[in-house]
Amino acid sequence: MVQMDSNSTGQIAPQRLAPVHPHVETRRRVALRCLALAVSVAALGQWLAPQTAGAVATWRYDMYDGTAVRYQDPDYTACAATATQMMLNTIYGTLDKEFVLKRFSLGDKFIRGTSPVFSWKPSTLYETQETVLGYERAHMTMLSSSAGTDPHGWRNGLNYFGWGSIYSGVYADRAFTSFDAAAKAVVHGLAVYGKPAGILAWYGGHAQFVTGYTVTGADPRTGSMSFTLTGVYLTDPLKSQGMRDKLLTYKVWRYDAAKIAFKQYWQKDSPQVDPIDGRAGTAEWYGRWVAILPVR
C-alpha cells in the first residue's frame, strides 16, 4: 500500500527503508554462504555415497585404462608378458590419482601400502612385449620345452620391470583351495593396493587380469573382507576373446566355460624350485585357483 505524506500536495512520498546495520548484513551473507555450502555438501554426499540396495551398500571400482592395453597377437605364447605390460601401463596411469572417497573421505579410513620406486615406462609396443616375455621365460620354474611362462615368471616380470627387482615383493603368486577365497583375495589386493590382479585362466594355461569389481557389504578399500562379490572387470590379452574391461557377474566368472570362468590350475610343467618362495611351481599350484596379486 502506498502512503501519502500528510503535508504533501498530492505527490506520493517515497518509502524510506531503514538502514541495515553492517553486522546484520554480514550475518545474512554468512547465513547465505552456509546455506550454499550445506547444499553443496549434501550434493557431494550424494555423489560420494555408495549405491545402495535397501540397507546394503554396493561398491563399484574399475581402474581400466583403454590407452594402456594391446593384444598379444601375433605371439600366442605371450599372454603373461602382454598382461604384465598392460598391468604396468595401468599402474603408471594411476600414479597421480586417488580414489575419490579417499580424497574426500569425511573421516573414512583407507589402507595404503608403501612400495619401492615404480620404474616402468609405459609402452604398448610389440617389441616391449617380447622383451618382457624373454625375461619371464628366463626367470620361471617351468620346463623350457613349454611355451610362454608360468606364474613365477609372470610374478618376476611384474616385479622386475615395475620396481627394478624380482625381490621387490610388490606382486606375489598365491594359490587358493576354493574359488571364493581366490576371488576375494583378487578384490582385496586390487582395492587395498590400487593395482590390477592377474589370474591364471584356462586351467592355468592362459593369463588374464582384473581391474575392477562390484561388491556389496563392506568397502574392500578399508581392508575388510566382509563383502560379497557380485562381479569383476576382466581383460584378456588374446584378441579373439573379445574381452576388454568386460564385466563378468559372479556366476559367470565362477561357472561359465573354461575360457571365461576362473578355474583351477591343472598344469604340471613347473617342477623347478622358485628362489623367491622356495617352492616348486607344480606342487604349489596344482588343483588350486592361482592368482598374481599385489601385496604392497
Q: Based on the fold, state whether residues 97 and 185 are members of the same structural domain.
A: yes
pLDDT value for 132: 98
Q: Are 262 and 201 in contact (CB under 8 A)?
A: yes
Q: How confident is the model at residue 94 (pLDDT cuts 50, 70, 90)?
A: confident
Q: How many domains does the chain have?
A: 2
DSSP string covering 79-111:
HHHHHHHHHHHHHHHTTT---HHHHT-TT----
In a domain, 181, yes or no: yes
Q: How confident is the model at residue 20 (pLDDT cuts 50, 70, 90)?
A: very low
In a domain, 13, yes or no: no
pLDDT surpassing 60 at residue 29: no
The CA distance from 293 to 290, in Å, is: 9
Higher pLDDT, 193 or 8: 193
245 Cβ contact list (under 8 Å, min separation 6): 62, 64, 66, 211, 212, 233, 234, 235
Q: Based on the fold, state whether residues 212 and 265 are members of the same structural domain.
A: yes
Per cent of the chain over pLDDT 70 is: 75
Q: Are 63 and 212 in contact (CB under 8 A)?
A: yes
Q: Based on the fold, state whether residues 27 and 133 are members of the same structural domain.
A: no
pLDDT tens column, 36-58? 434 333 333 322 345 554 568 99
Range of the domain at 174: 54-294
Q: Based on the fold, state whether residues 31 and 70 are members of the same structural domain.
A: no
In a domain, 10, yes or no: no
pLDDT value for 183: 98
pLDDT value for 115: 57
In a domain, 7, yes or no: no
Q: Based on the fold, state whether residues 104 and 30 are members of the same structural domain.
A: no
pLDDT surpassing 80 at residue 30: no
β-strands 289-294, 246-249 pairing:
unpaired
Q: Based on the fold, state whether residues 152 and 277 are members of the same structural domain.
A: yes
pLDDT tens column, 189-222? 999 999 999 999 999 999 999 999 999 999 999 9
Mean pLDDT on 268-291: 96
pLDDT value for 111: 44
15-36 b/e (C-beta count within 10 Å ≥ 16 → b):
eeeeeeeeeeeeeeeeeeeeee
Q: Which three cell numbers stand for residue 290?
A: 592361482
In a domain, 14, yes or no: no
pLDDT surpassing 90 at residue 9: no
Q: Based on the fold, state whether residues 37 and 76 are members of the same structural domain.
A: no
Q: Based on the fold, state whether residues 84 and 183 are members of the same structural domain.
A: yes
Q: Based on the fold, state whether residues 144 and 201 are members of the same structural domain.
A: yes
In a domain, 16, yes or no: no
pLDDT value for 26: 42
Answering whether pTM is above 0.85, one says no
Q: How confident is the model at residue 232 (pLDDT cuts 50, 70, 90)?
A: very high
